[in-house]
């Protein structure tokens, strides 16, 4: 019995694209390639299908692992291509230090800022006494060598005929009306007082208040500049040794001059030549000399902490030896306004 030829399930003989050949029996056709739907998928497609199945089941873990791997690759790449720092030897270190010094930002010194704030309020206080005449009718020479500690006339003033400059001190404006605070020993030792403001305005002045136990006096000038600027006062609470201070005044009539230092001590006492003892003083080491008396002792912000009052020199000379004293501004201000020294 003859065998029937094999046909595809679709009812059509699958011969397109294939090369048929005849089996040895000469009856049944055999094809060199199986039908396309019966072929095994290529390797690429099989791998893609497996990856899709794996990614679908473990999507979260795959994303985390990918992120970690990418981060490690970026870090490794940065480390691989980062330029190595140069070897630091002494010459390069010196060059770097010099460069930093040469290119540092310029900033004003604290003391210069403080000085600029206080200087519009500082005044010079000159004392004048009648000119003494000798028997021949000529003025006495007050600069005789046998009187080294006697003040030499600093300058004459045409507005005060018959008087000569016998002393110099410092004060500072504390109110808009021109009221000036200074030392009592500066103001009370002369027959007439003359003050010179920061803008050059000169005026006669008189004592309108005093506090002898604090060596303080309040002066009232006859003329006041239009743009007068009072000093800013501050408390000494919290002041401690080592704090920066600055003394401003007219030492030996030169100035206004500034000298800086630190607070050396607090609550000091001072007694000179059996005179009334001063207590609760600020000790400081900013240079102060005759002429600084009555001037402000300021902090780094240009605020007045106290009034320069005395210096201590064990040798007896009237020059600075590293120890100065100032009356705290609280002591000076309380009571000085209303007490008359006369």
Quickly tell me which residue has 């600069």 as its tokens. 143
Paired residues of 139 in beta bridges: 133
Paired residues of 20 in beta bridges: 31
Cβ burial 196-214 (10 Å sphere, 16+ → b, else e): bbbeebbbbbebbbbbeeb
CA distance 315 to 176: 42
How many degrees, rounded to 5, is the angle at CA 136 between CA 132 and CA 139? Answer: 30
By three-state DSSP, how is residue 87 classified? coil
Q: Which is the catalytic residue, given 126, 129, 215, 285? A: 215
Active site residue 155: no
The answer to whether the CB of 177 falls within 8 A of the CB of 218 is: no
- Say how many CA atoms lie within 13 Å of 311 toward its Cβ: 22
Check residue 233 and report its DSSP letter: B
Active site residue 293: yes
Check residue 161 and report its DSSP letter: T
Please, where are the H alpha helices in the chain?
43-57, 59-81, 90-102, 110-118, 184-187, 329-333
Q: Say how many C-beta atoms besides its own lie within 10 A of residue 112's C-beta.
A: 12
Active site residue 102: no
CA distance 116 to 113: 5
Look up residue 195 and give its two tokens.
Answer: 């003050």
Q: Which is the catalytic residue, given 185, 259, 264, 285? A: 185
From the list 76, 83, 336, the residue with the least C-alpha distance to 215 is: 336
Q: Which residues are catalytic?
A: 185, 215, 293
């Amino acid at each position: 019995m003859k065998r029937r030829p094999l046909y595809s399930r679709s009812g059509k003989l699958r011969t397109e694209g294939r090369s048929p050949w005849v089996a040895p029996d000469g009856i049944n056709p055999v094809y060199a390639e199986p039908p396309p739907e019966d072929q095994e998928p290529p390797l690429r497609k099989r791998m893609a299908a497996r990856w899709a199945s794996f990614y679908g089941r473990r999507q979260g873990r795959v994303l985390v692992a990918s992120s970690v791997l990418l981060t490690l690759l970026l870090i490794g790449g940065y480390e691989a291509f980062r330029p190595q720092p140069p070897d630091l030897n002494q010459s390069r270190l010196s060059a770097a230090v010099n460069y930093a010094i040469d290119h540092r930002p310029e900033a004003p010194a604290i003391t210069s800022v403080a000085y600029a704030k206080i200087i519009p309020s500082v005044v010079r206080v000159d004392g004048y006494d009648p000119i003494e005449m000798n028997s021949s009718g000529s003025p006495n020479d007050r600069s005789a060598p046998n009187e080294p500690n006697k003040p030499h006339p600093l300058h004459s003033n045409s507005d005060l005929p018959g008087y000569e400059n016998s002393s110099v001190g410092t004060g500072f404006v504390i109110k808009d009306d021109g009221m000036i605070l200074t030392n009592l020993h500066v103001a009370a030792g002369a027959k007439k007082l003359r003050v010179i403001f920061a803008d050059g305005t000169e005026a006669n002045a008189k004592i309108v208040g005093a506090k002898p136990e604090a060596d303080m006096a309040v002066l009232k000038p006859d003329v006041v500049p239009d743009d007068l600027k009072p000093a800013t006062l501050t408390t000494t609470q919290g002041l401690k040794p080592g704090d920066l201070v600055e003394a401003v005044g007219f030492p030996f009539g030169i100035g206004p001059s500034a000298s800086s230092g630190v607070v050396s001590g607090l609550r000091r006492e001072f007694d000179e030549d059996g005179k009334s003892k001063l207590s609760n003083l600020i000790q400081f080491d900013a240079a102060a000399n005759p002429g600084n008396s009555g001037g402000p002792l300021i902090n780094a912000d240009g605020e007045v902490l106290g009034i320069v009052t005395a210096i201590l020199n064990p040798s007896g000379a009237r020059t600075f030896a590293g120890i100065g004293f100032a009356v705290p501004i609280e002591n000076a201000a309380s009571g000085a306004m209303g007490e008359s020294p006369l």
